[in-house]
Every structure is written in C-alpha cells, then in structure tokens.
Structure 1
Amino acid sequence: MPYTEATIQRIREILQQKGADFYEKAMFGGICFMVDDKMLCACKIDKDTKEDRLMCRLSPQASEEALKQDGITPMDFTGKSMKGYIYVEAAAFASTRDLNHWLQLCLDYNPLAKASKKAK
C-alpha cells in the first residue's frame, strides 16, 4: 500500500470536523484530497524513510514560512520545485494539533488556488 490507512483516516476525520466538502483521488502514488475540484493535500509513503509524507498546497507566503521549519521540504515531483507545494515529513504532523495546522493552511488557500485544466 502506498500510504498508511491510519494517516488517511486522520486526515478524513479532521476534514470532516472542519466541514470540508472533499473527495479522494488516487494521485502521485498515494491519495489526494480534493476540495472544490482542486488539490488540497496528498499523502503517500516516502521511498527513503518508509513513513507517510504529507504534500500540502499552500499560499506562496505560507509555503515560504513553512520551509523554515524542520521536516518541511519543497515539493519537487518533476525534479523542479513547485511554488506553493511542500512536503511535510511524518514527525511534523505526528500530533493531531500539527496535522490540523497543516490541513488548515491548505484549506485557507484552497478558495484562492487555481483549478487544474480539465482534460478534453
């Protein structure tokens, strides 16, 4: 399994508590959580650490601030870092409080984020 079901369930529970209208989609070798047809966050197992890693879509300002913290790295899915996307290592979202923090940052940015173009 490319992710830990316990982590996916933790994300579901927090999003439900926040009243987010979300759905899940298999992407990036893990599970992506979508809100308003836009990527909110994703979770998958890190190949190196073998632990869950959270991918967050944040505002450019929030992502710059986040990158100053331990356990946060730029997302470089294609070999080039993508602005506003970060990876959060498992230790940085181990507590419910920490996971809630990251998900709230994602939810705060979601209404401002652009949706990807639909395939024709």
Structure 2
Amino acid sequence: MAYNDRLAKRIESSFYYFPKEISNEITQKKMFGGLVFLYKGKMTIGIMKNDLMVRVLGDQMEVIMKNSHVRPMDFTKKPIKEFIYVNLNGFKTEEELQHWVELGVAHAQNKLK
C-alpha cells in the first residue's frame, strides 16, 4: 500500500469546505510514492502510507514543528524545506484534518502570488 485510500477520500471531502474557486482548482497526482493534492499545480497536502505530507509556509514552521505529531519530511535523509509529515494521531478528527489541508492550500496560494 503506497498510501491510505480512506485518508485520500477524507482529504477529497475536506475540499468541499473551500469556495468553489479553490476546490475547482484541486487536482491529484501520484508522487513521492503516494498521492498529492495540488492547487493550480502547487502541492498542498499529500499522503505517504498513513502519514500526511503538508506544505507549510516557512514563517510557520517553528511553531508547527512543536506539535508532537509532526516531524520534518526527510525521505531523502535530510529535511525538505517547508514540508512536514503528520502522523495518524495528528488528524483523528475532520477538524484536525481540515487544519492541515488549509495550511497546505495557504502555502500554495502564497507561492502563486
């Protein structure tokens, strides 16, 4: 299993809470051995096995890294800038998952400015 299909469906559902001008621009692509969701071609959030991969604005990284369910995305053996992993305990509820999705979308929107 490259990624958790159930989690993919939860993420897909989370985009329904965004305005149509955002949700209509979301696409999916298999990357990093998992599945990623892109906004206008920019990665927002993804799944690798059971973990979330989230793009986070650099000025928010220090605070977010204090979360016990978060670790640097380091599948290349060194941390990748503005990428994090969030383990299963960090998105048990739909509200918690929505938080991570919103962070990822904010990152993509910022990169498109």
Q: Give the match's secondary structure for 1:80.
A: coil
Partners of 1:62 and 1:105 within 8 A in 2: no
The aligned amino acid for 1:35 is: Y
Residue 40 (1) aligns with residue 38 (2) = no
CA distance in 2, matches of 1:8, 1:69: 22
- 1:49-68 to structure 2, matched below 5 A, reads 52-68=50-66
- 1:5-44 to structure 2, matched below 5 A, reads 5-18=5-18, 19=20, 20=23, 21-44=25-48
Moved over 2 A (4+): none
More helix by share: 2
CA distance in 1, matches of 2:52, 2:32: 11
TM superposition shift of 1:63 = 2.1
Higher RCO, Cα 8 Å, sep 6+: 2
Structure 2: stretches of 5+ with no match in the other structure: none
TM-score (norm 2): 0.89
Residue 98 (structure 2) aligned to one of 92, 97, 100:
100
TM-score (norm 1): 0.84
- The residue number in structure 2 matching 1:84 is 82
TM superposition shift of 1:113 = 2.2
RMSD: 1.3
Query: How many residues were matched structurally?
Result: 108
Listed one character per residue, the Cα deviations across residues 7-37 of structure 1 (whole Å, up to 9, x for unaligned) are: 1000001113213221110111110111111
CA distance in 2, matches of 1:4, 1:82: 22
Q: Give the match's secondary structure for 1:109.
A: helix
